[in-house]
Amino acid sequence: MMKDYLVRGIVPSKNCRVFACQTTQLLEEARQKHGLWPTASAALGRMMSATLMLAAMNKNHEKMTVSINGGGPIGSMIATTNSDGKIKAFVANPEVHYTYNDTGKLAVGVAVGHEGNLQVIRDMGLKEPFVGTVPLQSGEIGDDFSYYFMVSEQTPSVVSVGVLVNDTNEILASGGFIIQLLPEATEEDIVYIENVMKDFPPVSSLIHDGKKPEDILRMLFEDVEILGTQDLYFECDCSKEQMKAALITVGKKEIQAMIDEDHGCEMTCHFCNQKYQFNEEELKELLLEM
Ligand code: ZN
């Protein structure tokens, strides 16, 4: 299996910058950790691909969190990365599966819903993080990110993200690409991009056919210049210490009840489903520390 990575490049002849990524392995890892059903896999995979490409747009390794809540059965979705190629993410309800009757395709927009927002929080190490919020367009994720770039960052962008799942729910392919117009883009550049997008195959089938991210960019633009690559992983940075801090916020009374009634407690990380046990002794120590 090929490792996941992202490439970024520019197309001077068409005045745009481009990103493409393959996220098959990291989505498969997320699927196994969270027990994602196919449409939930597709939603989270599209979101992680778009988030990783969004993060690749900034040069500083800032922390970036994207949350989507469209009011659909999947509930809220959150993805976080430090712009270092590592991402962690979850959906509130992983056991969600819908397909469209006419095409049989995974109905991501139905699972996610579109009565809500896409929010991007960028922590640039300043006092206040940058928060950009836009209403969801379709809940299909690609459209929603495209709208975010247009409205929140004033950058017209084509966002194509996709996921392919097999009969036993394993991830066959996941990834995507983004084309962003630079301010000097001309009417001809826009027409070129519109035309090339017209009959462009779904990105998930290209990846499934073995096309690498740079191959996909070359299919779009013959003269693309690749500027850099970055390996991508699903990786959570949770720890028992972190869980302890979360436990403290529960309050003394609750912790005392855990000691008296359950003689311990178990905490689960939302992002990776890792479970952390605290026994009676540890909870008593915690009470003393508080
Ligand atoms: Zn975790």
In CATH, what number is assigned to the domain containing residue 282?
A: 3.90.1280.10
Q: Are residues 283 and 152 in the same domain?
A: no
Ion ligand 1 neighbours (CB, 5 A) are 236, 238, 269, 271-272, 274
CA of 50 to the centre of ligand 1 (A): 21
In CATH, what number is assigned to the domain containing residue 198?
A: 3.55.30.10
Q: Are residues 189 and 97 in the same domain?
A: yes
CA of 16 to the centre of ligand 1 (A): 37
The pLDDT of residue 120: 96
CA of 163 to the centre of ligand 1 (A): 23
Q: Are residues 64 and 207 in the same domain?
A: yes
Q: Are residues 187 and 284 in the same domain?
A: no
> How many structural domains are present in the chain?
2
CA of 183 to the centre of ligand 1 (A): 40
pLDDT digits (tens, 9 = 90+) for 92-103: 999 999 999 998
CA of 33 to the centre of ligand 1 (A): 10
Q: Are residues 280 and 215 in the same domain?
A: no
- Residue 277: which domain range? 240-289
The pLDDT of residue 1: 63
Q: Are residues 180 and 223 in the same domain?
A: yes
What CA–CA distance (Å, rounded) separates 79 from 34?
13
**Tokens standing for residue 91:** 């959906």
CA of 244 to the centre of ligand 1 (A): 13
How large is the average pLDDT for residues 60-79?
95
Domain end residue (candidates: 200, 217, 234): 234
What CA–CA distance (Å, rounded) separates 269 from 242?
10
The pLDDT of residue 136: 98
Q: Are residues 190 and 278 in the same domain?
A: no
CA of 148 to the centre of ligand 1 (A): 28
CA of 181 to the centre of ligand 1 (A): 36
Domain end residue (candidates: 214, 234, 254): 234
User: Sorting pLDDT into bands at 50, 70 and 90, what band is 207?
Assistant: very high
CA of 234 to the centre of ligand 1 (A): 10
Q: Are residues 126 and 12 in the same domain?
A: yes
CA of 98 to the centre of ligand 1 (A): 27
The pLDDT of residue 126: 79
The pLDDT of residue 240: 94
Q: Are residues 255 and 201 in the same domain?
A: no
Q: Are residues 57 and 100 in the same domain?
A: yes
- Residues of the chain with pLDDT > 70, as a percent, come to 100
CA of 8 to the centre of ligand 1 (A): 28
pLDDT digits (tens, 9 = 90+) for 27-41: 999 999 999 999 999
Q: Are 239 and 272 in contact (CB under 8 A)?
A: no
CA of 37 to the centre of ligand 1 (A): 20
CA of 239 to the centre of ligand 1 (A): 7
Q: Are residues 48 and 100 in the same domain?
A: yes
Domain end residue (candidates: 234, 259, 276): 234
Strand partners, 18: 9, 179
CA of 274 to the centre of ligand 1 (A): 6
Q: Are residues 250 and 146 in the same domain?
A: no
pLDDT digits (tens, 9 = 90+) for 106-150: 999 999 999 999 999 998 877 889 999 999 999 999 999 999 999
